[in-house]
Structure 1
Amino acid sequence: MASTVYLAMLRRQLTLALRRPVQLLNPALFFAIVIVLFPLGLGPAPDTLSMFAGGILWIVALLANMLGAETLFQSDYDDGSLDQLLIAQQPLYFLVMPYLLVQWLLSGLLLAFLSPVFALMLGLPQQGVVVLMASLALGSGVMSVLGAIGAALTVGLRRGGMLIGLLVTPFYMPVLIFGSGAVSAAVDGLAFAPYLAVLGAMFSLAIALGPVAIAAALRISADA
């Protein structure tokens, strides 16, 4: 029974996301536009762009992920679906998992798959491209969970997007440090596996404990 409800929720979230193509493509479009603008600001010198490519890509991915988190629960809050979710018989821990999975698939993993194109545009050496994809895939999962916690806490507030940024940005910093560190280590020919291992540990911890925090935050927002 629980698995049936979970699959139904997952199908619902995917359907809603596909019905809103503008919101679906916003993170990817933001990612592409900002990456294209960086060569204009830093200059077209290949050495300069190559030096900062890993950090640039990670920072823009972080901002794009934050952009998609703002509306994660908003539509369900507006139409009352969130109230039904809170009083459902199934544990809220499992009911919020489809939100996280769809958010990660359509923002984090999508950006990870698109990143090689923009990495080559910025001149990132080839040995860093695969590591960039792996680090973004893991790190974006952590950022999706952190963004969902912020979205759950601010779902009933106006201008919640600014508050989400203030709440979750400090927690994004370790992900950014280890993610960009993995890319830099790969480019310099150093061991990058420890960085990916730390990101994997963060990802596992976020998946295990994140839904608990999201469920608690949604209940707090509903009672406020």
Structure 2
Amino acid sequence: MIALFLRDLALAIRAGGGFGLGLAFFLIVVVLVPFGVGPERGILAAIAPGILWVGALLACLLSLDRIFALDFEDGSLDLLATAPIPLEGVVAMKAAAHWVTTGLPLTLAAPVLGLLLHLEPAAYGWLVLSLALGTPALSMIGTFGAALTVGLRRGGLLLSLLVLPLYVPTLIFGAEAVARGAAGQANATPLLMLAGITLATLALLPFAAAAAIRINLR
């Protein structure tokens, strides 16, 4: 399992779906927002939590179609499906590799990009915490969507349409946690909801994704 995780890390970075692509897209989104809404500090500070979370969410979408595509094309996915290791474990390792190459860099870069949007100083810690709690769910949900569309030609658009509605609860609670933190309000409830969503996806979706892969490989 560790070897599979390291292999997926190397493939994700080598295929261009790792650190650079997601971070570049995140930066572009954050830089373009002031051009669209104006440079007023108050307005930017008010919308910063939502914009940062939307940017991170969209950046996670960029590499989802590569999670199983390369293994499907070279036949490795068939071997993994018949290997002694559980297919659910394979799914979990691929989701973990996606988070390390996408979600983790976005979480670490978000405070720096928050400076461009005049994010309130009190919100920086909550921003990192909310992204650390929420981005694993984004990777796991994206892995589930990739399993549903594996083998489909040009399935990237369909994958986005399937995954985006499932991302909405994570987006709502993540942005709300940061916004409440910026305002000095209690934000334990959205953070707990965010953690609950992540734990639920990690517990349930590997089994659903593994079942989807078995159906698609028949």
Paired residue total: 217
Which residue in 2 is equivalent to 1:120?
115
Q: How large is the RMSD of aligned CA atoms in angstroms?
A: 1.1
Equivalent of 1:23, from 3, 17, 22? 17
Which residue in 1 is equivalent to 2:145?
150
Once the two structures are TM-superposed, the CA of residue 19 in structure 1 deviates from its matched residue by: 2.6
Letter in 1 for 2:63: G
Higher mean C-alpha displacement, 10-19 vs 80-89: 10-19
Which residue in 1 is equivalent to 2:60?
65
- 4+ runs deviating over 4 angstroms: none
The answer to whether residue 162 in structure 2 is matched with residue 171 in structure 1 is no
Which residue in 1 is equivalent to 2:70?
75
Once the two structures are TM-superposed, the CA of residue 112 in structure 1 deviates from its matched residue by: 0.5
**Partner SS state of residue 17, structure 2:** helix
Whole-angstrom distance in 1 between the partners of 2:205 and 2:138: 11
Contact 2:130–2:194 (CA under 8 A) maintained in structure 1: yes
Contact 1:53–1:119 (CA under 8 A) maintained in structure 2: yes
Which residue in 1 is equivalent to 2:106?
111
The answer to whether residue 208 in structure 2 is matched with residue 213 in structure 1 is yes
Equivalent of 2:34, from 20, 32, 39? 39
**Partner SS state of residue 63, structure 2:** helix
Equivalent of 2:199, from 197, 201, 204? 204
Query: Equivalent pairs: percent with the same residue?
Result: 44
Whole-angstrom distance in 2 between the partners of 1:103 and 1:31: 16
The answer to whether residue 186 in structure 2 is matched with residue 186 in structure 1 is no
Contact 2:65–2:156 (CA under 8 A) maintained in structure 1: yes
1:150-173 CA-partner distances (Å, limit 9, x unpaired): 111111111211111111111111
1:159-202 CA-partner distances (Å, limit 9, x unpaired): 21111111111111110110000011111111112211111111
Whole-angstrom distance in 2 between the partners of 1:26 and 1:222: 30
Whole-angstrom distance in 1 between the partners of 2:26 and 2:111: 12
Once the two structures are TM-superposed, the CA of residue 17 in structure 1 deviates from its matched residue by: 2.5
Whole-angstrom distance in 1 between the partners of 2:132 and 2:63: 16
Once the two structures are TM-superposed, the CA of residue 43 in structure 1 deviates from its matched residue by: 1.0
1:38-82 CA-partner distances (Å, limit 9, x unpaired): 111111111111110000011111111111212111011100000
The answer to whether residue 45 in structure 2 is matched with residue 50 in structure 1 is yes
Once the two structures are TM-superposed, the CA of residue 215 in structure 1 deviates from its matched residue by: 0.4
Contact 1:153–1:220 (CA under 8 A) maintained in structure 2: no
Which residue in 2 is equivalent to 1:3?
none
Whole-angstrom distance in 1 between the partners of 2:198 and 2:89: 17
The answer to whether residue 136 in structure 2 is matched with residue 141 in structure 1 is yes
Once the two structures are TM-superposed, the CA of residue 97 in structure 1 deviates from its matched residue by: 1.7
Contact 1:138–1:203 (CA under 8 A) maintained in structure 2: yes
